[in-house]
């Protein structure tokens, strides 16, 4: 089951320019760019209450974003990532609908050190999609039979437990 949108990854040709745009112009909190040689990228993260924007620049010769930037030199939407309860269940469900993950089909440790799978954009309306299994704490299922009020309260509690500051956002949402 898909739980949340975790992040949107934007491929960028120049990480410093991207950070300046998101921090100085957009006014968001953006992390220092971090080299991730195992993943062939340099990443800076802009934090919003409900989602992260990952600014991803190529690192090294064999970067997964280099080919994308060849086609989109000024940058572009690289992928979106959903959090799921159980990556194996997700894979099984998608297999039942004839969707096969990229690579050898085994969940790999992603940039957030959680098991992840990627699916071909051709299968999903032209968007590269990552599914990411989060830690046990965020895997607690939300009961579908709760009233609106109790669901509202449990959402607040859930987000507090995650240490996120999304309570205000969720209050506006419901």
- Report the b/e string of 54-87 with b at 16+ CB within 10 A: bbbbbbeeebbbbebbeeeeebeebbbbbbbeeb
Tokens of 64: 């997964």
Q: Pick the binder of Co ion from 130, 133, 155, 159 (CB under 5 A).
A: 130
Residue 53 vs 166, nearer CB to Co ion: 53
Residue 94 vs 111, nearer CB to Co ion: 111
Residue 9 vs 94, nearer CB to Co ion: 9
Rounded to the nearest angstrom, the gap between the alpha carbon of residue 95 and the centroid of all alpha carbons in its chain is 21
Nearest distance from C-beta of residue 58 to Co ion, angstroms: 15
Q: Pick the binder of Co ion from 42, 63, 81, 133 (CB under 5 A).
A: 81
Q: Is there a contact between 98 and 87 (Cβ–Cβ < 8 Å)?
A: no
Active site residue 130: yes
Query: Which residues are catalytically annotated?
Result: 130
**Contact residues for Co ion, defined by CB under 5 A:** 9, 81, 130
């Amino acid at each position: 089951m898909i739980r949340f949108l975790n992040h949107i990854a934007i491929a960028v040709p120049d990480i410093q320019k991207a950070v300046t745009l998101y921090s100085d112009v957009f006014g968001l909190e953006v992390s220092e760019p971090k080299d991730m040689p195992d993943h062939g990228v340099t990443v800076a993260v802009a934090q919003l209450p409900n989602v992260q924007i990952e600014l991803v620049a190529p690192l090294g010769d064999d970067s997964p974003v280099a080919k994308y930037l060849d086609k989109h030199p000024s940058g572009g939407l690289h992928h979106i990532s959903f959090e799921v309860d159980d990556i194996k269940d997700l894979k099984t469900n998608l297999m039942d609908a004839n969707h096969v993950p990229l690579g050898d089909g085994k969940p790999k440790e992603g940039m957030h050190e959680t098991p992840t799978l990627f699916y071909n954009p051709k299968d999903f309306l032209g968007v590269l999609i990552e599914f990411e299994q989060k830690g046990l704490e965020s895997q607690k299922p939300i009961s579908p039979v709760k009233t609106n009020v109790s669901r509202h309260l449990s959402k607040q509690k859930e987000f507090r437990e995650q240490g996120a500051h999304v309570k205000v956002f969720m209050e506006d949402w419901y």
